[in-house]
Amino acid sequence: MNVEKMSPSEARALIRSNDWTRPTAGMASGFTQANLAILKKDLAFEFLLFCQRNPKPCPILDVTEPGSPVPRLVAPTADLRTDIPKYRIYEHGELTNEVDNITKYWNDDMVAFLIGCSFTFEQPLMNNGIPIRHIEENCNVPMYKTNIQTVKAGRFEGPMVVSMRPVAHRDVVRAVQVTSRFPSVHGAPVHIGDPSVIGINDVSKPDFGDSVSIRDNEVPVFWACGVTPQAIAMHVKPDIMITHAPGHMFITDKRDEDYSIL
Amino acid sequence: MNVEKMSPSEARALIRSNDWTRPTAGMASGFTQANLAILKKDLAFEFLLFCQRNPKPCPILDVTEPGSPVPRLVAPTADLRTDIPKYRIYEHGELTNEVDNITKYWNDDMVAFLIGCSFTFEQPLMNNGIPIRHIEENCNVPMYKTNIQTVKAGRFEGPMVVSMRPVAHRDVVRAVQVTSRFPSVHGAPVHIGDPSVIGINDVSKPDFGDSVSIRDNEVPVFWACGVTPQAIAMHVKPDIMITHAPGHMFITDKRDEDYSIL
């Protein structure tokens, strides 16, 4: 089974039938994968406003109509209740369950948000000869809470979470250029170099994900991370919030290059 | 009185005291001006979603908290009830009044949207030696309804409105590059050349604004226009909708370059 060469709809069918329950990295190569956050309608305007005010950490790819599980913009034949391999259920801010479909949790009050993910800019970095350390080391990208405040919207507020990729000095300028082309999937870095400037005391101890090695000829480069909106929504302790499980993303029909502005 | 050199807050104070009731072109030069649309809260989520789905015609610069007339992101000391020289009041889709402040119309149910305006990319075009015909001819930019459908959100749907600027053949590529740098104020063109391709039958008869001359060595270049969201909101015939009067924009504290991604 060559999941890399599958079309997005083939990959989603496999996931929907529970024949694929693992992380989605590498599936339907070249097509954009997205983070999921589902909230009740009464929080949806504030959350959408929060994302609109903080486009770097919260780049929205699609928002469903209230009650509809269909992301019409990015995958009109998909069903967000079944097409992700693993979901997490949070009640009052606490993780209460991990499930392979959310049919029994879904109701007409719900709005689903699909948020851009850094997978989309990692391939263009690699195409430019810039290796991605956490892929080389076969682990999760390291993520950190920072002292960079997001812009508040209603009840949503808190610090930005960033992801870090070590980049060789000779490649730093190119890494800025390449990721600047993708403003709707985090875009240009938010910081280059000394981690303490953005409130990170020990770069070897990420708050989420795994530590990766930084070599002598490299600097740590930090991008706004799609974990931010989930972390911030959690502070609000909504009655219910549903997300994808880390690494188990939603596969859209959009090509990565659709999100490049140049 | 040199309004060009004023700071944004000085310009807004002049407008607030009714000492300036004319169009805002050229005021507080270098600072971003914005379109205004005010709707009641019950339409706000759908309208925000519509704008999020149609970022080229509807690039949002700020959205106020429901009931607050303060655009905290782009001008935290401003008051949207008084700081625009001329407003239009629409009731059930009909223009019913034109006023110099909206204090008596404002209530705690209202949400104000500030939407990017092409003024922001015209200066960079001119800085690159690309003249702007409607400025040369001292008239309004020509605007056209097209056959390009926007992406529906709830009750909001309809065709995209575009603005047109004639560009010399030798400058077309540069015009694409320069405006691509500004994705949050309409960004790159939506069409270059033959107007009939996007459903415009007679380029000399714009649906809004004024006709401008197109010379032999020039092609018409079309950008998504900020009139789109107003035109589409009007179809919904909301109880009340308030906008700026054409050319009478809101002056933000942001510099045009703040909206450039490169």
DSSP string, chain A: --GGGS-HHHHHHHHHTTS--S--TTTTTTEEEEEEEEEEHHHHHHHHHHHHH-TTT--EEEEPPTT----TTT-TT--TTTSSS-EEEEETTEEEEEES--TTT--TTEEEEEEE-THHHHHHHHHTT---HHHHTTSPPPEEEEEEEPPPBTTB--EEEEEEEEEEGGGHHHHHHHHHT-GGGT-S-SEES-GGGGT-S-TTS-SBS------TTEEEEEEE-THHHHHHHHHT--SEEEEEPTT-PEEEEEEGGGG---
One domain for residues A73 and A128:
no
Residue % of chain A over a pLDDT of 90: 82
CB contacts, 8 Å: B183 with chain A: 183, 261
What pLDDT is recorded for position A47? 95
Does B260 have pLDDT greater than 90? no
Asked if the structure places residue A19 within a domain, the reply is no
Report the pLDDT value the prediction gives residue A119, as an integer from 0 to 100: 86
Judged against a pLDDT cut of 90, whether residue B68 lies above it is answered with yes
Interface contact A48-B53, CB threshold 8 A: no
Digit-coded pLDDT (tens) for B9-46: 999 999 999 999 998 988 999 899 999 999 999 999 99
Same domain, A113 and A124: no
Which percentage of chain A shows pLDDT scores above 70? 100
Any residues with CB less than 8 A from the CB of A91 and at least 6 apart, and which?
A: A239, A240
**Assigned domain for B128 exists:** yes
Q: What is the mean pLDDT of residues A90-113?
A: 95
A50/A151 same-domain check: no
My answer on whether B85 and B100 are in the same domain is: yes
Are both A105 and A162 inside the same structural domain? Answer: no
> B74 and B177: one domain?
no
Q: Which of A41, A63, A262 minimises the CB distance to B52?
A: A63
CA-nearest residue to A113 within chain B is B49
Residue A23 is assigned to a structural domain of this protein: no
User: Is the model's pLDDT at A247 over the cut of 90?
Assistant: no
In a domain, B28, yes or no: no
A148 shares its domain with A207: yes
Say whether both B124 and B79 belong to one domain: no
| Rounded distance between C-alpha atoms, residue A50 and residue B52, angstroms | 12
pLDDT bin (cut points 50, 70, 90) of residue A68 is very high
Q: Do A52 and B49 touch (CB under 8 A)?
A: no
B262 within some domain: no
Distance CA B135, CA A115 (A): 40
Residue of B40, B43, B46, B48 for testing the chain A interface, max A β-carbons within 10 Å: B48
Residue B146 reports pLDDT greater than 90? yes
Structural domain contains residue A141: yes
On the question of pLDDT at A261 being above 90, the answer is no
The percentage of chain B sitting over the pLDDT mark of 90, rounded to a whole number, equals: 82
In a domain, residue B153? The reply is yes
Q: Are residues A150 and A202 in the same domain?
A: yes
| Residue B190 predicted with pLDDT over 90 | yes
Domain assignment present for residue A18? The answer is no
The Cα–Cα gap between B63 and A49 comes to: 7
Q: Are A81 and A145 members of one domain?
A: no
Pairing of strands B94-99, A159-168: unpaired
Report chain B's mean pLDDT, rounded to a whole number: 94
* Eight-class DSSP state of B239: S
Average pLDDT over residues B160-181: 94
Average pLDDT, rounded, for chain A: 94
Cβ burial of A40 (10 Å; 0-12, 13-18, 19+) is middle
Query: In angstroms, what separates the C-alpha of A65 from chain B's closest C-alpha?
Result: 7
| A133-137, A172-176, A231-235, B132-136, range with the lowest pLDDT | A231-235
pLDDT tens, position by position, B95-117: 999 999 999 999 999 999 999 99
Per the structure, the complete domain to which residue B138 belongs is given by 119-225
* Residue A125 CA, distance from chain mean position: 17
In this predicted structure, what is the pLDDT of residue B140? 87
CATH number at residue A169: 3.30.2040.10
Number of CB atoms found within 10 A of residue A181's CB: 19
Name which of B47, B49, B68 to mutate to probe chain A: the one with the most chain A Cβ atoms within 10 A of its Cβ.
Answer: B49
Structure tokens at A62: 């699609």
| pLDDT over 90 (residue A40) | yes
Beta-carbon contacts of residue B9 (< 8 Å; ≥ 6 apart):
B75, B77, B78, B253
Number of domains composing chain A = 2
CATH of the domain at A66: 3.40.1640.10
Nearest neighbour of A52 by CB, restricted to B52, B154, B183:
B52
- Regarding whether A102 and A201 lie in a shared domain, the answer is no
Q: Do A59 and A142 sit in the same domain of this protein?
A: no
Q: Alpha helix locations (H) across chain B?
A: 8-16, 41-53, 119-127, 133-136, 172-180, 227-235
pLDDT band at B262 (very low <50, low <70, confident <90, very high): confident
Residue B1: the pLDDT is: 78
